[in-house]
Structure 1
Amino acid sequence: MASAEPLHDSISSADVSHIRSSRIPPAIYLLGAAVFAVTTSEFMVAGIMPSLSSALGVSVGEIGYLISYFALGMTIGGPLATALLLALRVRNKAAFLWLLGLFVLGSIVTAIAPNYGVMALGRIIQGISSGGCFGIALTICASLVSSNRRGRAVSVVLAGLMLSPVVGVPATAMIEQSFGWRASFWSVVVLAALAMTVVAIGVPSAKHDGSADLRSSLAALRNGRLWTAYLTSSLIIGATFAAFSYFSPIFTQIAGLPEGVIPILLAIYGLANVLGNLVIGRFADRFTIPILIGGLTILAFALATFALFATIPAIAIAAFITIGLFGVTMNPAMAARVMRAAHPDPMVNAVHSSVITTGLAVGTWAGGLGIDAGYGLTAPLWVGFALALAGLLSLAPRRARRLS
């Protein structure tokens, strides 16, 4: 790893001129590949729950907590890890490699875990490193393109996140079925190590400009516009996952679809995520606020339609796909708004990732609370609808200023 130098840095002017001459720098695709590796690990547990439950001698519910441990590490540990690297004044690229190295270590722990406790520890380590990786990846991404192309560049990085449920999670499930659950976890170790290698070789090193440290990064968080942007992002993700987390029982128990259709719907939803992310990414820089307003309006409409017509499979499926097209796919616009509200600092981006993860957890929890309270399986959809409306309200002050 490189020696300790300032984490927040800028590419030299000669490098910037060269990098920005291309439409999307190849280095940004490499960052997307790294995000794909860490995100695949986050969601892979969902595809191998029965095997893990049997191997570790715990219930399926306890295996589900492994996803929560990852999210907990990401939410709390990600910003703390970023703060430590800022305090040590480590360059962006070196910091990213250190965090990927920590992720590889956590992945090895999960692969060799002899019991549930060790597995949980490995998942927490993975989450901590993942949260930091997201923040620094977006910071490096922003430094490689001009400010008016950040949304599009971010969409390429986030394509790694969108592809992981479509490609990564099914692949790890197939490996588990053929070679066992440990092989599935070892495949993530190999994938993460490969990501480290390509980032080390293909992402340009940045030149220290001496302008940032932990104090200035924390100062950047004392920004009302930034926290308003964070709130909108959290509500968008909360609204989406309030519905997505419970789509399977809604389709099988209310719409009456067979369980065999669920993987097909999941694949279609994933493809909708990828398509929506790439399309929105092309326009996120020029139409940031209109995209957020329009997207939230469509999302709210789709959630209400899903809830009202959940018993009609064709309408329910159409609404579900619409949620896939206009939910998490607003990520490029969300990131572009945050980067306009504050300098694209590693801490700013790490906290954004943390806030998004919090929104995911709150949306899922509130949806389950509605079901447990006796409001039925469509309760999460109405929770999502309410969160989408709250997201629109969070944009109202901005809209009153004529979308400036």
Structure 2
Amino acid sequence: MTTPYKLPATVYLLGLTIFTLVTAEFMVAGMMPALADAFSVSLAQVGNLIAFYALGMALGGPPLTVLLISRGIGNKRALIALLVVYLLAAGVSAVAPSYTILLAARVIMGVASAACIGLCMTLCAGLVPLAARGRAIAVVLAGLMLSPVAGVPLTTVIEQVAGWRASAWMIVALALLCTLLVARQLPQDVAGQQPSLRRQLDDLKSRSLWGAYVTSGLIIGATFAAFSYITPILINEVGISPAYVAPLLALYGVANVLGNLFIGRIAERHTFRALGWGLALLVLAMAGFALGGEHRWLNLLCFILIGFTGVALNPAMVARVMKAAEPGALVNTLHTSVITAGLAFGSWAGGEAIDAGFGLRAPLWVGAALAGLGLISLARPLLNARTPAARPYA
């Protein structure tokens, strides 16, 4: 009987690193009223703390990765250096005396975060045999899935007990821990592990890769158009007590994990079906939540269904990208950047809909529209997938 391959502990360390980065990105959603009061700004401006973090990831991550590859800097050294930059910016955000400084610090965190996530995915692929790559990447992505389950609710509870700065310092502590462990535990780079810059740029010419990027960006944009404003929606529209917001966010996170586990089992064989049915359910959940009115059970059911789809479609999104190109640092970083560009747009559009006077539920309609566009973006590959003779279009 063959002994199952045991993943190295460093794979879990990379998952913890992504957990820290994603928690820092999304924790603003759980403390929007507190930040609005602390800096005397609108909810839409607080939403920009998520949007501009994501914008930093989208615009800064790929050029930074190209620079690192062109300089021949090893993956481990690059990850350590970026984590140090991230750590310093996180420290500035924790002591920020003004909204402007906090916003600037989060942009820098976003730039470093995008390259870090791309490197984590690339390092993960190089740490294990090819046959175990899918399982290892699923573990690393679990860091992203666990952020809504544990990270965001934890930062929300800490904010309610000790203020938002205490939550920011928790991120600093986690980032420091990850930096030290990566420096100590991660093996040195294997020669030739990172494909050349020319080869990675050639991979970006794939039309199927950009089709995958577009769908991924729309999925995450749709999700965070709503999730960025979920705390005021739950409190002011659904009538949930502020004390119950953190448990509901945790329940949402559990739905993320369950959805991720389910999608992870079918993503490799049924990539497009998983994305198609997931997006269809996301459209229905967003619209149902927007029309939920005073029916609290319907509002909460749709909220949990958004958690079961949305971010939980990540395994299918990654599977589609890996079918389209070799998962080098640039491909992974650009995927992260496109996703976060969608996140930034969704968060910004949701805030603009509120500021335009359409009400707190307006971001849900924005999310439904973006999810609908994501479903439309799958039309051609879904049709081709049903035609064996057709040229694959991932």
Category of TM-score, reference length = shorter chain: 0.7 to 0.9
Alignment of 1:256-335 (within 5 A): 256-335=239-318
Moved more, 313-322 or 366-375: 366-375
| 1:200 paired residue number | 183
Is 1:167 aligned to residue 150 of structure 2? yes
Distance 1:394 1:148, change over 3 A: farther
| 1:186 paired residue number | 169
Is 1:71 aligned to residue 59 of structure 2? no
| 1:95 paired residue number | 78
**Alpha-carbon shift at residue 251 of structure 1 (Å):** 4.1
Alignment of 1:322-361 (within 5 A): 322-361=305-344
**Alpha-carbon shift at residue 92 of structure 1 (Å):** 1.8
Is 1:391 aligned to residue 367 of structure 2? no
Letter in 1 for 2:125: A
Alpha-carbon distance in structure 2 between the residues aligned to 1:82 and 1:63: 29
| 2:41 paired residue number | 59
| 1:154 paired residue number | 137
**Alpha-carbon shift at residue 117 of structure 1 (Å):** 4.2
Is 1:221 aligned to residue 204 of structure 2? yes
- CA displacement 1:359-393 (0-9 Å, x = unmatched): 11222333344445555544433332232222222
Alpha-carbon distance in structure 2 between the residues aligned to 1:305 and 1:46: 21
Alpha-carbon distance in structure 1 between the residues aligned to 2:199 and 2:277: 34
Q: Describe the SS at the equivalent of 2:385.
A: coil
Distance 1:219 1:128, change over 3 A: same
Q: Describe the SS at the equivalent of 2:297.
A: helix
C-alpha contact 1:249 1:377 (8 A) present in aligned 2: yes
**Alpha-carbon shift at residue 320 of structure 1 (Å):** 1.4
Distance 1:146 1:125, change over 3 A: same
Aligned counterpart in structure 2 of residue 122 of structure 1, from 85, 99, 105: 105
C-alpha contact 1:217 1:345 (8 A) present in aligned 2: yes
Is 1:131 aligned to residue 102 of structure 2? no
C-alpha contact 2:263 2:312 (8 A) present in aligned 1: yes
Distance 1:210 1:246, change over 3 A: closer
With the length of structure 1 as denominator, give the TM-score of the two structures: 0.84
- CA displacement 1:216-249 (0-9 Å, x = unmatched): 3222212111100001101111222223234444
**Alpha-carbon shift at residue 269 of structure 1 (Å):** 0.7
**Alpha-carbon shift at residue 277 of structure 1 (Å):** 1.8
Alpha-carbon distance in structure 1 between the residues aligned to 2:12 and 2:324: 25
| 1:5 paired residue number | none
- CA displacement 1:62-94 (0-9 Å, x = unmatched): 554433332222121111211110111112222
Alpha-carbon distance in structure 2 between the residues aligned to 1:126 and 1:387: 26
**Alpha-carbon shift at residue 123 of structure 1 (Å):** 1.8
Moved more, 374-383 or 200-209: 374-383
C-alpha contact 1:273 1:324 (8 A) present in aligned 2: yes
C-alpha contact 1:273 1:328 (8 A) present in aligned 2: yes
**Alpha-carbon shift at residue 399 of structure 1 (Å):** 1.7
**Alpha-carbon shift at residue 345 of structure 1 (Å):** 1.2
Q: What percentage of aligned pairs have identical amino acids?
A: 50
Alpha-carbon distance in structure 1 between the residues aligned to 2:183 and 2:133: 22
**Alpha-carbon shift at residue 54 of structure 1 (Å):** 6.5
Alpha-carbon distance in structure 2 between the residues aligned to 1:381 and 1:63: 18
Number of equivalences: 384
**Alpha-carbon shift at residue 146 of structure 1 (Å):** 5.1
**Alpha-carbon shift at residue 355 of structure 1 (Å):** 0.8
Alpha-carbon distance in structure 1 between the residues aligned to 2:353 and 2:99: 30
Q: Describe the SS at the equivalent of 2:79.
A: helix
**Alpha-carbon shift at residue 58 of structure 1 (Å):** 4.4
C-alpha contact 1:148 1:285 (8 A) present in aligned 2: no
C-alpha contact 1:242 1:366 (8 A) present in aligned 2: yes
Letter in 1 for 2:41: S
C-alpha contact 1:232 1:395 (8 A) present in aligned 2: yes
**Alpha-carbon shift at residue 327 of structure 1 (Å):** 1.1
Gaps spanning 5+ residues in structure 1: where? 1-19
CA RMSD of aligned residues (A): 2.9
Alpha-carbon distance in structure 2 between the residues aligned to 1:283 and 1:255: 34
**Alpha-carbon shift at residue 166 of structure 1 (Å):** 3.0
Alpha-carbon distance in structure 2 between the residues aligned to 1:103 and 1:89: 21
Gaps spanning 5+ residues in structure 2: where? 387-391
Distance 1:129 1:21, change over 3 A: farther
C-alpha contact 2:218 2:371 (8 A) present in aligned 1: yes
